[in-house]
Amino acid sequence: MTTTVAERFAQGFAALNKDNLSQLAELYHEDMVFTDPLHEIHGLAAMQAYCANLYANVTHIAFAFHHCQQLSDTEAVLRWTMTYQHPRLQRGQPIAVEGCSFVQFRGDKVCRHRDYFDAGALLYEHLPLLGRLIAWLKRRLA
């Protein structure tokens, strides 16, 4: 069974950790663009700096990819769950956030990566004051 470009990307991304971030160069083009609800990053060097900072500030982070759908030779959608632990969020307990990525390829490397996820579930709901406010708002709107 052949592996699609999207599946190879998902496997490589899931294998990343603080000690092997140089492998981002195997996944992304030099002139790549990454966008999520909180960031927009241009270029591989900026992506490597962003990931280094991310991995330095968490005690654990892991991505589990659930579905990779190759849409064409140059586009794919990937569904995932990110689990992370930060010492100052949720008393250091694991936080799981589901999301999906739309990726565009140039050859076998990603040139455009757009993540979609609930920023509240990722961060805001776990901040002491803001988290209580969001919980109160959710109760009021239910």
pLDDT band at 104 (very low <50, low <70, confident <90, very high): very high
| Partners of 76 in the β-ladder | 70, 103
pTM for this model (two decimals): 0.84
63 or 134, greater pLDDT:
63
Report the CATH fold assignment for 5-141: Nuclear Transport Factor 2; Chain: A, (3.10.450)
Per-residue model confidence as pLDDT tens digits over 54-102 = 899 899 999 999 999 999 999 999 999 999 888 877 778 898 999 999 9
β-sheet with 60-70: strand ranges across: 40-42, 28-35, 109-117, 95-106, 75-85, 60-70
Residue 132 corresponds to which amino acid?
Answer: R
Per-residue model confidence as pLDDT tens digits over 4-31 = 999 999 999 999 999 999 999 999 999 9
